[in-house]
């Protein structure tokens, strides 16, 4: 009974579908499944070659993955070099 | 409808909006609020009632100005500008907007639309400048010192580009005797100056930073409205006059890539969207550079859908700013609980920007990429593919995730006001309609569309690219490599004029007194040298006495003036 009351309070505060860690896990698993399915889809459709390399097996998937990892790492390096405190421009004049 | 058309002719719809801006000041507050929404809707009906033709030709001294050229290219841009104006003003009903800001919004849209329908470069120039001046009030209306300075820097860039445009125009006119606004290319007299002017206004790399500097400092509805017009007007102008100019392909490619790095590390989510805007412009510039019918169709349709989804994303972030008082990713999270509608609309905008199948970006961006492939530009093709995956990162994942889904920061706010929700809903609706029925947009394009976006391989390949990019995000997030949002700003090219030049002056000043004597001695020699060479240059055959010098000296003088002004408002 006490538990229920607490839960109700939580609901009022706005306990949300996204507050449940299990739901987040579900989303992530769904993403894995979708990615696996898309990768396997390589066997089942006719490729339309623009150049030669884009017909390599799983080209779009691998390219998307690798380039995005590179993007994030590159961005981290850039931020390390370029970040300044928020009032950087205010202090001088 | 034809009766309406007869009353409003031969005036350019943009001029009607500018007239509307004056009327809006005189009307009582409530009436004026709705007037600003209804007028653009009314003008859309006006536009559809007209046949493609040249209206409003007037004589000006010996020249005829074509103040209202309605062709397929100007119609599609005019239409999206009117839609953007209507949606922006509807959104502004939910914000506390004073009359000045409302009129500025109308005059800004009016200037941009009038420039789109301009058939000659004088009319184009005049309304480009009307738009520039009116738009700065949307920044100043924030009424903070920061916004004032940012607005000033913005204005310097805009007017500066305007003066360069004027210089190019004068050179072009003095050599060719023509003021027609049509295909120019780099070889045309004044062609390079005019390209630079359009380049500044469309935020080419290195002259891009006025955009990221100023737009996020504007008011809530101001940023939404600003996002639509200036840069896309410049894209329109480039598409009309520089289609097929190869250098644009490479400029556009750099433009598509560089901003995505910034978009990932920037903390202010509205500023993230301005970097993202810049990156989308890159796609359009590439399309113009390629210049084939498919590439131009792609550019135009991408500009069309981009205005809608970018406005939608900025609207959702504006609503977040209105309710929580901040737009910093580091201070936001968990808002889906209290602002579910805003979150849903934001996701539609994010999916459209990322070009998910069934959303608008998919049917436009792919045309540009396909056109690049067809012309054999494989490096460009790879770059655009990378940039597409990058868009998913900053617009598709980062914006909705950090505002609505990341760790709850305890904001317990109300949902956005209803006019904002209606405006977002309408924009989201259009994003989906265009994505599902691309023919509705393709039918309006200047060239017939021989392109089918929904084929099995294209849908699968796009989904592979996007979902594996999302997978990379998830993995990086889980192993804690993905950078968290941190307070702070990232240096960009504005550093040069906000800090660098000033430091250089202070630094060199320190050594000036010791160097004074040396300078004095040298100066005498230099001055006599200058006088001698000036004599030569000013001779009948000298560089300075040639006719085009008028245009180029305007460019030089304005360049110097701008430099001084930029230092003042650093």
What pLDDT was estimated at residue B516? Answer: 67
Task: Show residues of chain A in contact with B405, CB under 8 Å.
Answer: 18
Q: Domain locations in chain A?
A: 1-45, 47-93
What pLDDT was estimated at residue A9? Answer: 45
| Predicted confidence (pLDDT) per residue in A21-63, tens digit | 888 889 899 999 999 999 998 888 887 778 888 888 889 999 9
Q: How many CB atoms lie within 10 A of CB B486?
A: 12
What is the interface pTM, i.e. ipTM, of the complex? Answer: 0.82
Phi-psi sector, B414: left (phi>0), alpha (psi -120 to 50), beta: beta
User: Shortest CB distance from A31 goes to which of B465, B474, B491?
Assistant: B474
Listed by number, the residues of chain A in 20-79 with a beta carbon closer than 8 Å to a beta carbon of chain B are 28, 31-32, 34-35, 38-39, 41, 45-48, 50-51, 58, 60-65, 67-69, 71-76, 78-79
Examine the pLDDT at A14 and tell me if it is beyond 80: no
Examine the pLDDT at A85 and tell me if it is beyond 70: yes
The mean pLDDT of chain A is: 79
What pLDDT was estimated at residue B272? Answer: 94
User: Shortest CB distance from B489 goes to which of A31, A60, A88?
Assistant: A88
Burial B107-138 (b: 16+ CB within 10 A, else e): bbbbbbbbbbbbbbbbbbbbbbbbbbbbbbbb
User: How buried is residue B342: exposed, middle or buried, by Cβ count under 10 Å (0-12/13-18/19+)?
Assistant: buried
Q: Among all chains, which residue has been given the structure tokens 């109700």?
A: A8
Distance in angstroms (rounded) separating the CA atoms of residues B158 and B152? 10
| Minimal C-alpha gap between B377 and chain A (Å) | 10
- pLDDT one digit per residue (tens) for chain B, 570 residues: 455 566 666 789 999 999 999 999 999 988 999 999 999 999 999 999 888 888 878 887 777 888 899 999 999 999 999 999 999 999 999 988 888 999 999 999 999 999 999 999 999 999 999 999 999 999 999 999 999 999 999 999 999 999 999 999 999 999 998 889 999 999 999 999 999 999 999 999 999 999 999 999 999 999 999 999 999 999 999 999 999 999 999 999 999 999 999 998 888 999 999 999 999 999 999 999 999 999 999 999 999 999 999 999 999 999 999 999 999 988 998 899 899 999 999 999 999 999 999 999 999 999 999 999 999 999 999 999 999 999 998 888 889 998 998 888 888 899 999 999 999 999 999 999 999 999 999 999 999 998 999 999 899 999 999 999 999 989 998 888 887 777 888 888 888 888 887 788 777 777 766 666 676 777 777 777 777 777 776 666 655 555 555 666 677 777 777 777 777 776
CA atoms within a 13 Å half-sphere pointing along the CA-CB vector of B274: 26
Examine the pLDDT at A1 and tell me if it is beyond 60: no
Quote the tokens at residue B478: 């889980």
| Minimal C-alpha gap between B260 and chain A (Å) | 8
| Minimal C-alpha gap between B352 and chain A (Å) | 18
CB contact under 8 A, B473 and A68: yes
Task: Show residues of chain A in contact with B478, CB under 8 Å.
Answer: 28
CB contact under 8 A, A14 and B466: no
- Whether A89 has its CB under 8 Å from any CB of chain B: the answer is yes
pLDDT band at A11 (very low <50, low <70, confident <90, very high): very low
Collapsing DSSP to helix, strand or coil, B274 comes out as helix
By the 8 A CB rule, do B12 and B67 touch? yes
CB contact under 8 A, B389 and A68: yes
Quote the tokens at residue B121: 């470069």
Helix segments in B437-544, DSSP class H: 439-442, 456-478, 494-495, 501-510, 512-538
Distance in angstroms (rounded) separating the CA atoms of residues B452 and B150? 44
- Whether B536 has its CB under 8 Å from any CB of chain A: the answer is no
What pLDDT was estimated at residue A8? Answer: 46
Best of A37, A51, A75, A83 to disrupt the B interface (most B CBs within 10 Å) is A75
Task: Show residues of chain B in contact with A71, CB under 8 Å.
Answer: 260-261, 264, 386, 389-390, 393
CA atoms within a 13 Å half-sphere pointing along the CA-CB vector of A86: 9
Give the pairing of strands A83-84 and B53-60.
unpaired
CB contact under 8 A, B408 and A19: yes
Q: Domain locations in chain B?
A: 1-240, 243-492, 497-568
Q: How many CB pairs under 8 A join A and B?
A: 151
| Predicted confidence (pLDDT) per residue in B1-19, tens digit | 455 566 666 789 999 999 9
Angle at B201 between CA B204 and CA B363, to 5 degrees: 70
Distance in angstroms (rounded) separating the CA atoms of residues B40 and B88? 10
Quote the tokens at residue B379: 């490096």
What pLDDT was estimated at residue A4? Answer: 47
Alpha-carbon separation of residue B483 from A79, B166, B265, B330 (angstroms): 9, 45, 7, 11
Nearest 10 degrees: Cα torsion A63, A67, A68, A70: 150
């Amino acid at each position: 009974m006490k538990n229920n009351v607490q839960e109700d309070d939580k609901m009022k505060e706005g306990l949300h579908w996204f507050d449940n860690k299990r739901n987040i896990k579900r989303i992530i698993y769904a993403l894995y499944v979708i990615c696996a399915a898309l990768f396997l889809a390589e066997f089942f459709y006719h490729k339309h070659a623009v150049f030669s390399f884009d017909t390599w097996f799983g080209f779009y998937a691998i390219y998307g993955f690798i380039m995005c990892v590179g993007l994030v790492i590159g961005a981290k390096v850039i931020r390390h070099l370029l970040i300044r405190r928020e009032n950087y421009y205010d202090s001088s004049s | 409808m034809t009766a309406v058309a007869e009353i409003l002719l031969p005036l350019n719809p943009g001029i009607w909006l500018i007239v509307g801006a004056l009327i809006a000041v005189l009307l009582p507050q409530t009436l004026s609020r709705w007037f600003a929404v209804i007028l653009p809707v009314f003008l859309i009906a006006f536009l559809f009632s007209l046949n493609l033709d040249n209206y409003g030709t007037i004589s000006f001294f010996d020249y005829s100005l074509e103040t209202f050229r309605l062709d397929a290219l100007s119609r599609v841009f005019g239409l999206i500008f009117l839609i953007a104006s209507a949606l922006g003003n509807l959104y502004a009903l939910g914000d506390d907007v004073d009359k000045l800001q409302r009129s500025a919004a109308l005059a800004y849209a009016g200037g941009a639309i009038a420039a789109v329908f301009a058939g000659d470069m004088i009319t184009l120039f005049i309304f480009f400048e009307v738009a520039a001046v009116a738009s700065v009030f949307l920044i100043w209306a924030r009424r903070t010192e920061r916004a004032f300075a940012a607005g000033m820097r913005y204005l310097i860039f805009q007017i500066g580009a305007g003066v360069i445009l004027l210089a190019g125009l004068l050179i072009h006119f003095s050599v060719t005797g023509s003021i027609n606004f049509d295909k120019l290319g780099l070889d045309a007299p004044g062609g390079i100056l005019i390209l630079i002017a359009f380049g500044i206004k469309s935020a080419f790399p290195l002259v891009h930073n006025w955009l990221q500097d100023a737009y996020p400092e504007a008011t809530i509805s101001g940023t939404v409205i600003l996002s639509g017009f200036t840069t896309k007007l410049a894209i329109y102008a480039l598409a009309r006059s520089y289609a097929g100019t190869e250098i644009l392909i490479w400029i556009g490619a750099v433009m598509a890539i560089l901003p995505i790095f910034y978009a990932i590390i920037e903390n202010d989510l509205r500023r993230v969207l301005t970097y993202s805007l810049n990156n989308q412009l890159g796609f359009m510039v590439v399309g113009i550079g390629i210049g084939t019918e498919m590439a131009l169709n792609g550019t135009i349709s991408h500009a069309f859908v981009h205005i809608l989804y970018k406005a939608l994303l900025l609207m959702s972030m504006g609503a977040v700013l209105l309710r929580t008082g901040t737009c910093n990713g580091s201070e936001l999270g968990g808002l889906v609980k209290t602002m579910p509608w805003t979150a849903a609309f934001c996701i539609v905008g994010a999916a459209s920007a990322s070009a998910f199948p069934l959303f608008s970006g998919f049917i436009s961006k792919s045309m540009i990429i396909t056109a690049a492939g067809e012309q054999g530009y494989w490096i460009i093709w790879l770059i655009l593919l990378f940039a597409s995956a990058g868009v998913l990162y900053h617009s598709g994942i980062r914006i909705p995730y950090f505002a609505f889904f990341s760790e709850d920061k305890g904001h317990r706010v109300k949902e956005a006001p209803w006019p904002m929700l209606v405006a977002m809903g309408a924009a989201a609706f259009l994003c989906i309609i265009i994505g599902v029925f691309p023919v509705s947009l393709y039918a309006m394009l200047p060239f017939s569309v021989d392109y089918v976006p929904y084929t099995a391989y294209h849908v699968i390949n796009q989904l592979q690219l996007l979902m594996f990019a999302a997978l990379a995000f998830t993995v990086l997030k889980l192993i804690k490599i993905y950078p968290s949002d941190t307070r702070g700003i990232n240096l960009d090219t504005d550093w040069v004029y906000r800090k660098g030049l000033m430091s250089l002056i202070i630094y060199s000043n320190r050594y000036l007194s010791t160097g004074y004597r040396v300078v004095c001695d040298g100066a005498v020699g230099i001055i006599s040298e200058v006088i001698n060479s000036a004599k030569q240059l000013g001779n009948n055959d000298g560089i300075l006495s040639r006719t085009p010098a008028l245009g180029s000296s305007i460019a030089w003088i304005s360049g110097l003036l701008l430099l001084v002004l930029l230092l003042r408002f650093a």
